Amino acid sequence: MRKLWKLFALLLAFTLVAAACGNDDDDSSEPAPSAPTEAAAPATEAPAPTEAVEVDPTQGCDHTYHVITHGDSGTFWSVVEVAVRDAAAAIGCDVVYFGSNNDALRQAQEIEAAIAAGSSGIAISLADPAGVQSAAEAVVAAGIPLYTLNSGVNNYKALGATTHIGQTETVAGNGAGERFNALGATHVLCARQEQTNVALEERCNGLAETFNGQVTSEFVGLDATPDEQQNNIAARLQGDPTIDAVLGVGPNLPLRALAAGEQAGRELIIGGFDLSSDLIDQIEQGNVAFTVDQQQYLQGYLPVILMHLQATNLNTAGGGLPILTGPGFVDTANAADVKALVSQGTR
């Protein structure tokens, strides 16, 4: 087991160095990002907050770590949970995961409970920075290492977090804009599934920065109400015949856009964010042009490993910069390979 851990540590170190060397972007001008709370196969009702789940250790460990997010247990966040469990098994420690389903009050309460429990490290997402700021500051005040993941790239330094693990949302939106330019789009509807998630707004803003045509950013309904999303997109298409493309800033909205285009009798260029089996199927069939991949498995795995290294060996990573996990892109060229990993629950 010791040899395997040493090999793993070497591999992790190489990965972190490579990521840091490849990051020359200064995103300090961006507003606070947050990542998407996406659910593949949306339910008819909003999912309840994910209850805290303690991961059983595989060997003795005197530390307990907490990963407390705004996520649900849908397509995106279920991969993060798998990654947290895998990381817990690798270090042999208890790791408690909690997803608040965009309830900042619940998230803040769970952060405060982790402080009271004497956590050795707390990793949080910052979809609603104002809603959890006080709790996050309390983590640092208690002398507990704080990490941010998924959302928080512009806020983690001010809060005193060690580093941030995620993607730069504006840069991801920039890449989507360049893709739509190459595909010949002229007017993109940037469809958002949450009203208060600043990261989704950043994705649309980033799209507008690089796209040569017009961008309309609009909240079209929650993932828990897919029919509402489809109908709202269809109504927008019927009301503005110049819209010839849709960017869904999550993995479900591209599918709703596809159905809305058929409903409105329109052919669209469609792009998305994040991954689901259904979305990749549509990319393989040529119905969706691309999706932006932020590799959320890394966003669950790396914070646990980094918190453990800081607690046991006083290691810190990032060097004052975020550790970027994206953006990458999935299109027809690599969809089949990525699809196989999605079915395994790690992408």
Residues 153-185: tens digit of each pLDDT: 999 999 999 999 999 999 999 999 999 999 999
Higher pLDDT, 281 or 3: 281
DSSP string, 286-338: TSS-EEEE--HHHHHHHHHHHHHHHHHH----STTS-EEEE-EEE-TTTHHHH
Length of the chain: 347
The pLDDT value given to residue 38: 35
pLDDT at 44: 37
CA 41 to chain centre: 17
Mean pLDDT of the region 228-241:
98
How much of the chain, in percent, has pLDDT values that exceed 90? 76
The whole-number pLDDT of residue 53 equals 58
Q: What is the pLDDT of residue 260?
A: 98
How many Cα neighbours within 13 Å face the side chain of 271? 33
Q: Phi and psi for 218 in degrees, rounded to 5?
A: -150, 140
Distance CA 205, CA 215 (A): 9
In single-letter form, the type of residue at position 25 comes to D
Distance between CA 46 and CA 82 in Å, rounded? 21
- Comparing C-alpha atoms, which of 123, 41, 68, 35 is closest to residue 342? 41
Residues 313-341: tens digit of each pLDDT: 999 999 999 999 999 999 999 999 999 99
* pLDDT of 48 strictly over 50: yes
Mean pLDDT of the chain: 87
* pLDDT (mean) for 37-63: 54
Q: What is the pLDDT of residue 172?
A: 96
Rounded average pLDDT over 6-21: 41
For residues 100 and 49, the answer to whether their CB atoms sit within 8 Å is yes
In the chain the domains, ranked by start, together with CATH numbers, are 2-168+294-326 (3.40.50.2300), 169-293 (3.40.50.2300)
Exposure of 148 by Cβ count < 10 A (0-12 exposed, 13-18 middle, 19+ buried)?
Answer: buried
Element (H, E) at 98: strand 94-99
Nearest alpha-carbon partner for 287 in 296, 276, 279: 279
State whether residue 273 is helix, strand or coil.
strand
Rg of the chain over Cα atoms, rounded to whole angstroms, equals 20
Among the listed residues 116, 105, 72, the one whose alpha carbon sits nearest the alpha carbon of residue 296:
72
Evaluate if residue 36 carries a pLDDT over 70. no
Mean pLDDT on 57-61: 63
pLDDT band at 73 (very low <50, low <70, confident <90, very high): confident
Q: What is the pLDDT of residue 34?
A: 38
Beta 187-192 vs 323-326: how paired, if at all?
A: unpaired
Which positions ≥6 away from 43 have C-beta within 8 Å? 224
Q: Beta-carbon neighbour count of residue 212 at 10 Å? A: 10
Please state which of the ranges 27-41, 174-188, 191-205, 255-269 shows the lowest mean pLDDT.
27-41
Q: Is the per-residue pLDDT at 57 higher than 70?
A: no
Query: Which of 20, 35, 10 is closest to 193 using CA atoms?
Result: 35
What was the pLDDT predicted at 5?
A: 44
pLDDT at 82: 97
Residue, of 94 and 48, whose pLDDT is higher: 94
Average pLDDT over every residue of 56-61: 62
The answer, yes or no, to whether residue 46 has pLDDT greater than 80, is no
- pLDDT of 89 over the 50 cut: yes
Rounded Cα distance between 277 and 339, Å, is 6
Quick one: pLDDT band at residue 80, thresholds 50, 70, 90?
A: very high
* 144 vs 10 pLDDT, higher one: 144
